[in-house]
């Protein structure tokens, strides 16, 4: 049984009649998304292993599991430049948002992913793998009738509230500015919107979704990347120019720049985008 009500903003929601119905629906969503892409799936159970970091541990970069991860990333990158390490972890962490964005784009649902409810799994190479939440957190999830500015506002609130303590911790540990860190995270969020919209059977305009999502005045939203289309041989894809640099070029021997780096001139960036499209066409 399903009923409707309105949240504090007056937005119409769909609310499951019982907690068990809501939990069962999230379990079904998790299984379906795991078949498409495991990183899109929100897990309700997790193994007890060192690969998982609790959300609460992400609030302290000076000690504990997060500090251990940061030092491992530095060792792997052969650098002690804390700004570069912090930017790298921010990018890796932000991929976890797929498990929050996909349920809204596909099922019109937004889970409660406050850090106290979350666990993050990283690989031995410190790449993000899975996001898990405590089942009790789903009592605070939202189920929307439509994909619109109100549902995007709820998604935005969840993602910003979750990431803010991590950004504070990384800024304190590294000295990298909050604006620069949010630029890394917002860039990954934009990439996830584009990827998910491209891969799901529903017809969604990723640019329209991004416009709704970033339509706010909070600092993370002001650091949104520039999104633009590139066409090559009748194929068009969205690419981006980040609002802040990850500083990787500072530690690379050949001063390598990401294809979305804001330090690249427009012509060089477009050339890389077109080469990327050509590679996609060659492998299609």
- The predicted pLDDT at position 18 comes to 60
The mean pLDDT value for 182-189 works out to: 98
117's CB contacts (< 8 A; 6+ apart) are: 55, 133, 134, 136, 137
12: pLDDT strictly greater than 80: no
- The predicted pLDDT at position 171 comes to 98
CA distance 82 to 173: 8
The predicted-structure confidence for 25-36, as pLDDT tens digits, reads as follows: 899 999 999 999
How sure is the predictor about 213, in pLDDT bands with cuts at 50, 70 and 90? very high
41's CB contacts (< 8 A; 6+ apart) are: 30, 31, 33, 34, 99, 130
4: pLDDT strictly greater than 70: no
How sure is the predictor about 143, in pLDDT bands with cuts at 50, 70 and 90? confident
- The predicted pLDDT at position 218 comes to 96
* Neighbour count for residue 268 (Cβ, 10 Å): 13
Q: Is 30 exposed, middle or buried (0-12, 13-18, 19+ CB in 10 A)?
A: buried
CA distance 77 to 205: 37
How sure is the predictor about 11, in pLDDT bands with cuts at 50, 70 and 90? very low
Residue closest to 221 by CA, chosen among 153, 145, 134: 153
Which of 43-52, 93-102, 232-241 comes out lowest in average pLDDT? Answer: 43-52
CA distance 255 to 252: 5
Structure tokens at 228: 């633009």
142: pLDDT strictly greater than 90: no
1: pLDDT strictly greater than 70: no
Q: How many residues does the chain have?
A: 284
Which of 3-12, 130-139, 187-196 comes out lowest in average pLDDT? Answer: 3-12
How sure is the predictor about 282, in pLDDT bands with cuts at 50, 70 and 90? confident
User: Sign of torsion, CA 36 42 48 54?
Assistant: positive
For helices 149-174 and 98-107, angle between their N-to-C axes, nearest 10 degrees: 180
178: pLDDT strictly greater than 70: yes
Overall pTM > 0.75 = yes
Angle at alpha carbon of residue 114, lines to 108 and 120, rounded to 5°: 95
Q: What are phi and psi of 209, to 5 degrees?
A: -60, -45
CB-CB contact of 110 with 152 (8 Å): no
The mean pLDDT value for 223-237 works out to: 90
13: pLDDT strictly greater than 60: no
How sure is the predictor about 284, in pLDDT bands with cuts at 50, 70 and 90? low
Pairing of strands 128-133, 42-43: parallel
3: pLDDT strictly greater than 70: no
160's CB contacts (< 8 A; 6+ apart) are: 218, 220
DSSP E strands: which ranges in 175-234? 226-232
The predicted-structure confidence for 26-83, as pLDDT tens digits, reads as follows: 999 999 999 999 999 999 877 677 789 999 999 999 999 999 999 999 999 999 999 9
Residue closest to 200 by CA, chosen among 132, 96, 104: 104
235: pLDDT strictly greater than 90: no
Among residues of the chain, what percentage have pLDDT more than 70? 93
- The predicted pLDDT at position 9 comes to 41
Q: Is 283 exposed, middle or buried (0-12, 13-18, 19+ CB in 10 A)?
A: exposed
Cα R_g (the chain), whole angstroms: 19
Angle at alpha carbon of residue 241, lines to 84 and 261, rounded to 5°: 35
281: pLDDT strictly greater than 80: no
């Amino acid at each position: 049984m399903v009923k409707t009500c309105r949240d504090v903003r007056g937005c119409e929601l769909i609310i499951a009649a019982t907690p068990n119905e809501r939990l069962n629906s999230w379990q079904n969503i998790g299984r379906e998304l795991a078949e498409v892409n495991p990183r899109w799936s929100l897990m309700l159970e997790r193994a007890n292993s060192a690969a998982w970091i609790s959300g609460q541990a992400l609030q302290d970069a000076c000690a504990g599991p997060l500090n251990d991860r940061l030092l491992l990333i530095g060792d792997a990158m052969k650098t002690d430049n804390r700004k570069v390490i912090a930017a790298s972890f921010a990018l890796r962490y932000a991929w976890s948002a797929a498990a929050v964005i996909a349920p809204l784009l596909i099922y019109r649902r937004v889970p409660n992913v406050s850090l106290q409810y979350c666990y993050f799994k990283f690989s031995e190479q410190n790449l993000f793998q899975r996001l898990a939440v405590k089942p009790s957190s789903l009592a605070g999830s939202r189920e929307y009738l439509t994909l619109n500015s109100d549902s995007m506002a709820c998604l935005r609130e969840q993602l910003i509230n979750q990431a803010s303590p991590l950004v504070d911790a990384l800024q304190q540990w590294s000295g990298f500015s909050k604006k620069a860190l949010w630029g890394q995270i917002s860039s990954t969020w934009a990439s996830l919107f584009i990827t998910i919209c491209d891969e799901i059977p529903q017809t969604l305009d990723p640019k329209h979704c991004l416009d709704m999502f970033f339509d706010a005045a909070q600092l993370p939203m002001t650091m949104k990347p520039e999104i633009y289309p590139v066409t090559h041989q009748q194929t068009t894809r969205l690419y981006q120019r980040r609002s802040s640099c990850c500083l990787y070029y500072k530690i690379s021997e050949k001063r390598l720049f990401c294809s979305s780096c804001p330090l690249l001139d427009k012509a060089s960036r477009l050339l890389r985008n077109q080469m990327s499209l050509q590679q996609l066409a060659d492998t299609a």
